[in-house]
Amino acid sequence: MKNKRMENSVKSLVNLYTVVIGVALSLAVVQLINVNVGLKAITIPLLLLFAAFVATLFPFYHGALRHLDDAYIENDNNNIKDGALVIDFILLFIHGLAFVVLSLLLAKPSEFAWVLLGLLSIDVIWGLFTHFAATTMRTLTAELKWSIINFAFVGFWIWYLVANNFYFGEVQKPILLAIPIVLTCVLRSIADYLWCREFYFPK
C-alpha cells in the first residue's frame, strides 16, 4: 500500500510537470508564429532559438520522468531521504516555470541566454541533490552526469556573454548570438543522451 501511495504521488508530480512543459512548448510555438502575421513573422534568429529551446526541453522532460521512475517506482531504494520527493517537486516545478519564461523570450536572444543559464544552474543544483538524496547510489549516476554537463555549459556561456558584452537588452545582430546558442544547446543534448543513454533507454 505504501508503494502504491508513493507511485500515485509521483504520477501527480509527473502530470503537473507535463502540463507546465506543455504550456511552455505551446507558448514557444505562438512566439514563433505570430497569428496576426503568419509564417512571414518567422526570422532566422527566432527559428534558431526555437530549435535551441526544443533541443533543451526534450532531454530535460525525458530525464525528469526517467529520474522519477528510477528513484521512486522501479527500484526498491533505501537511500532516499525523507522529504526528497517534496524537494523534487519544488525543483521540477521551478524547471517548468523557467521553460515557460524561456518560451516567451525567443525574440530576445540575450535575455533568452541568461534565463537559459538560470535554468541550467537550477538543474546543476537539482542533479547534485538527487544524486545524494533521491537516487540509488551508483558510482556515477545520470543525475550527477547532468550536473557535470550543465556546469560546463553554464561556465562557458557566462564567460562568452561577459566577454562579448551580451547583457539584458537589445542585440544589434541577433543571429550572431542565436547561432552559438543553438549549436551549444544541440551539443549539450547530444552529450547528455550519449553519456546517459543506458539511463534514458534501459535494456
pLDDT value of position 80: 61
Contact (CB, 8 A) for 135 and 77: yes
pLDDT value of position 42: 79
Cell of 199: 539511463
Contact (CB, 8 A) for 152 and 135: no
pLDDT value of position 138: 55
Q: Where are the domains of the chain?
A: 2-200
The SS3 call for residue 117 is helix
DSSP state for residue 81 in the 8-state scheme: P
In whole angstroms, give the CA distance from residue 56 to residue 130. Answer: 20
In whole angstroms, give the CA distance from residue 179 to residue 111. Answer: 15
pLDDT value of position 81: 60
Cell of 181: 546558442
Residue position matching grid coordinates 551580451? 166
| 144: amino acid identity, one letter | L
For the chain, give the number of residues.
Answer: 203
Contact (CB, 8 A) for 123 and 180: no
Closest CA to 158 of 124, 194, 132: 124
pLDDT value of position 114: 92
Which residues of the chain fall below pLDDT 70?
1-4, 6, 35, 37-38, 74-83, 133-138, 169
Q: State which H helix or E strand residue 13 sits in.
A: helix 2-32
Chain centroid, CA 168 distance in Å: 21
In whole angstroms, give the CA distance from residue 10 to residue 4. Answer: 10
